Amino acid sequence: MSPKPPSVVTMIAGGCVLILLQAPSTPGEQRRPRPGGKPVDLPGLHNVIHVSDQLYSGGSPEGDAGFESMKKLGIKTILSVDGARPDVGRAKKFQMRYVHLPIGYDGVSQEQALKLAKAVRDLPGPVYLHCHHGKHRSPGAAAAILMCLDDQCTVAQAIDVMKRAGTDPRYAGLYAAPKELRRPAARDLDQLKVDFPETAKIPALAEAMVHIDHHWENLTHIRKAGWKVPKDHPDLDPPHEALQLLEHYRELGRADSMRKRPADFRAWLTSAEQAARELEEVLRPADGKKFDAKGAEKAYQRSRTLCSQCHDKYRDIPQPK
């Protein structure tokens, strides 16, 4: 069988369009994200895109497999913009440095953009930039970094990074960042004093949302399995996941910082706790009571609507300072 010809790859770099020849992969070779190409999934890494020679963006690494995939990409520094605590121990095991500079879904501020850009410019590379799923915050941060480090990069080219990664247009703050950023001079980054922590201190709300998102994702798997234990996730117990969601909402509502939140935010939080309680009760029917699939779906959709309403107002758009 004759070998396949190399594929043609178009890459935008330094404001120029480059035509590259990429040799076809051989059987057993790890699929690599192409410069300017679509996202790829690697073992333990999801939604990975090749942003530049020094920068990849994707989802958070999962176990040894994710770190092994990063090692094959040549990654030296892992830069997390996620709220979850980085797996620093595993990074050290694979001789990589972890840096934690979390951002929100409401955009990338000038200050945050400069810190992220300095990290990519000055720390050993290539750098793997990640949030949780690699679809929203990390591509948004990557776009801001490009605007800071490449003076030939246009707003359209930076936004294309987010579009390639699948960033939802509802995240207005992330899409606005490349347009609003003031491009720094090299001396601005030289003079910037930045602490590159392995683990950043996370506000109570952000930390709670990490756990809530985790259990909400588990419940989504359970729903797809007909509200039963998913075959590919035998460790998930449906009523227990709903109970964990309930407890996180309850504990968040007790936090002192919640008293300063707007009335509608607190009302949504209370309603979310009630919806989680309803879902837990439906998924754990009393003795002799038949499981109510319609009731489970109703409680799930109510929780989903409450989350969307709160996110649309308080998470996904820039907030007044």
Relative orientation angle of helices 238-254 and 263-283, to the nearest 10 degrees = 160
Same domain, 50 and 179: yes
Tell me the CA distances in angstroms from 80 to 88, 134, 216, 270, one per residue in order. Answer: 11, 10, 21, 31
* Whether residue 167 is found in the same domain as residue 51: yes
Does residue 301 fall inside a structural domain? yes
- Is 203's pLDDT higher than 90? no
Among the three residues 191, 219, 245, which one is the final residue of a domain in this structure?
A: 191
Q: Are residues 287 and 150 in the same domain?
A: no
Q: And the tokens for 200?
A: 């950043």
Shared domain for 155 and 210, answered yes or no, is no
Q: How far is CA 64 from CA 74, 82, 92, in A?
A: 15, 19, 12
Last residue of a domain, one of 191, 217, 234: 191
Percent of the chain with pLDDT over 70: 86
Mean pLDDT computed over 285-314: 82
Q: Tell me the C-alpha distance between 275 and 304, whole Å.
A: 9
CA distance 36 to 142: 13
Which residue range(s) make up the domain with 309? 204-314
Is residue 143 within 8 A of residue 103, CB to CB? The reply is no
pLDDT in tens, 220-271: 989 999 999 999 888 888 888 888 788 778 877 777 777 788 888 888 888 8
Same domain, 187 and 236: no
Taking residues 298-309, report their average pLDDT. 84
Domain end residue (candidates: 166, 191, 216): 191
Cα–Cα dist 177/140, whole Å: 8
Does residue 20 sit within a domain?
A: no
Report how far Cα 4 is from the mean position of its chain's Cα atoms: 36
Q: Is residue 2 part of a domain?
A: no
Here the CATH number for the domain that contains residue 83 is 3.90.190.10
| 187 shares its domain with 208 | no
Query: pLDDT tens for residues 97-118?
Result: 999 998 887 789 999 999 999 9
For residue 265, being part of any structural domain is answered with yes
H or E element, residue 214: helix 204-224
Q: Is the pTM of this model over 0.85?
A: no
Q: How far apart are CA 293 and CA 291, in angstroms?
A: 6
Enter the tokens of residue 134. Answer: 């690699």
What's the pLDDT score for residue 267? 85
**Locus of tokens 């009630």:** 274
C-alpha closest to that of 176 among 144, 224, 204: 144
Is residue 1 one of the residues assigned to a domain?
no
Structural domains in the chain (count): 2
The predicted model gives 157-180 an average pLDDT of 91
SS3 content of the chain, % helix, strand, coil (to 5): 50, 15, 40
Confidence of residue 32 (pLDDT cuts 50, 70, 90): confident
Tokens read off for 268: 């949504």
What average pLDDT does the segment 55-74 reach? 96
**CATH number, residue 244:** 1.20.120
Residue owning tokens 């703050």: 173
- On whether residue 5 sits in a domain, the answer given is no
Report the mean per-residue pLDDT for the chain. 84
Whether 247 and 161 map to the same domain: the answer is no
Residues 254 and 215 in one domain: yes
Amino acid at 179: K
Going by C-beta distance under 8 Å and a sequence separation of 6 or more, which residues neighbour residue 32?
Answer: 25, 40, 50, 73
185 and 283 assigned to the same domain:
no
In this prediction, residue 104 carries a pLDDT of 81
Does residue 270 sit in the same domain as residue 249?
A: yes
More confident residue, 85 or 160: 160
